[in-house]
């Protein structure tokens, strides 16, 4: 015995309609975006002490933090400078470029950064072929 096709089609459409209403609410135009609240501490700038140590004195040295030249002349190790940092939640990129006189062996350079109220971070890089060109990223969580 076979059913009446128009009634079967009507029942099938009714079933799709019943399922479509909850599905449209679940997959509708709602947004799952989280509200980002920036604290005044993260938005403001923080003073930090930079300390650069090296085993052999470089012939030339350039250290930039956020487009600001912290060291441009070569002094005795350790060299220190006070800088202002902003947006510490994303990290700080430090651009270090140094060259050594010919005949200088590969040498280590250590950079320490000490922001007010945060932990000291330290990174050591080794020169090769009398030069060093590095981007060092420091992060705090």
Dump pLDDT digits (tens) for 114-139: 888 888 888 898 888 888 888 888 88
Which strands, in side-by-side order, build the sheet including 121-126?
79-85, 46-54, 108-115, 121-126
Pick the CATH number of 45-138 from 2.60.60, 2.40.50, 1.10.150, 1.10.287: 2.60.60
| pLDDT tens per residue, range 20-64 | 988 888 887 766 666 555 554 445 678 888 888 888 888 888 888
Beta bridge partners of 125: 109
User: In residues, how long is the chain?
Assistant: 141
Contact 88, 42 (CB under 8 A): yes
Cα torsion at 17, 22, 23, 27 (round to 10°)?
Answer: 140
Q: Give the start-to-end residue ranges of the domains of the chain.
A: 45-138
């Amino acid at each position: 015995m076979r059913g009446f096709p128009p009634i079967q089609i009507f029942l099938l459409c009714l079933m799709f309609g019943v399922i479509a209403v909850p599905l449209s609410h679940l997959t509708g135009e709602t947004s799952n975006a989280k509200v980002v609240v920036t604290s005044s501490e993260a938005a403001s700038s923080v003073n930090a002490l930079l300390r650069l140590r090296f085993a052999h004195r470089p012939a030339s040295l350039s250290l930039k933090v956020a487009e600001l030249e912290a060291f441009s002349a070569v002094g005795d190790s350790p060299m220190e400078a006070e800088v202002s940092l902003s947006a510490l939640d994303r990290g700080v990129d430090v651009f270090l470029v140094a060259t050594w006189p010919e005949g200088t062996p590969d040498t280590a350079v250590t950079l320490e950064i000490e922001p007010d109220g945060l932990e000291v971070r330290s990174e050591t890089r080794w020169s090769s072929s009398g030069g060093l060109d590095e981007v060092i990223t420091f992060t705090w969580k």
